[in-house]
Amino acid sequence: MPYKDGKIRLSPSTLNLFLDCQRCFWLHHVRGVHRPRGIFPSLPSGMDILIKTYFDKYRNVGQLPPEIDGSVDVKLFPDVEVLNKWRNWRTGLNYIDSDTGATLGGALDDLGIKDGLYVPLDYKTRGFDVKPGGESYYKNQLNCYGLLLRKNDLPPADHAYLIYYIPKEISEKGMVRFDIVPKKVPIDPDEALKTFQEAVELIKSPAPSKHTECEYCSWGSGLLLED
């Protein structure tokens, strides 16, 4: 069994896999058979660090960055020391299901507060403009953040914010201008809880049928699945 100590540990990204293809999810967690992965680009990770440092500069003076002030109706969570723990997947927020012992964990980018409620903020670096409805791709991730907040006695708001950074032009000395586009996204922690519970149940079940629309299932159709 590939998960440590026989315990199930899931994250928003592994639940994305569950929602995409249950067979690939089952193979990943039960048999340790993973989808092929290419080279992970380092630029988004580098941008993520820079954006967090930038936001923290304004957090320390109790302000929002000016380019989103007026578009994002929150104050930044003030305790950067606590936030930095929640930003790390090793020390981030966790929820342990009392019935199964399964864990859901996640790492926040940032957090806002409005009227005593907590609002997840997530940075996204994109190469192109955001298409209408494109934020639906991140719905499960944001739902999970809402669930993790709720299970840690941090009542979530009914929405989160995606904050897109989109490069627009480059000038002398490597100066790049970005458009910053905040998107308010409704979230539903109950939907995340349902997805989490269904994913845990699937791990304990026999292998699901091949998904006819999944390219990876077609590629790996010869994998041995007998117990």
What's phi and psi for 95, nearest 5 deg? -130, 125
Supply the pLDDT for residue 1: 44
CB 33 within 8 A of CB 223: yes
12-58 pLDDT tens trace: 999 999 999 999 999 999 988 888 876 777 877 888 999 999 999 99
- pTM exceeding the 0.85 threshold for the entire prediction: yes
Supply the pLDDT for residue 222: 54
**Hey, which bits of 151-216 come out as E strands?**
159-170, 176-186
Q: Is the pLDDT of residue 9 over 90?
A: yes
Supply the pLDDT for residue 4: 54
- Rounded Cα distance between 168 and 24, Å, is 37
Q: Name the residue with higher pLDDT: 37 or 221.
A: 37
Using DSSP's 3-state secondary structure scheme, residue 33 falls into coil
- Residue 104 exposed, middle or buried by CB count within 10 Å (0-12, 13-18, 19+): buried
What's phi and psi for 179, nearest 5 deg? -85, 135
Q: Which residue segments constitute the domains of the chain, with CATH numbers given?
A: 4-219 (3.90.320)
Mean pLDDT over each residue of the chain, to the nearest integer: 90
Supply the pLDDT for residue 226: 46
End-to-end alpha carbon distance in the chain: 12
Supply the pLDDT for residue 126: 83
Distance, CA of 162 to chain centre? 11
Sheet containing 93-96: which strands, arranged edge to edge? 9-10, 103-106, 93-96
CB 166 within 8 A of CB 128: yes
Supply the pLDDT for residue 99: 92
CB 21 within 8 A of CB 207: no
101: left (phi over 0), alpha (psi -120 to 50) or beta: left
Supply the pLDDT for residue 213: 80
121-168 pLDDT tens trace: 999 988 888 788 788 899 999 999 999 999 999 999 999 999 999 988
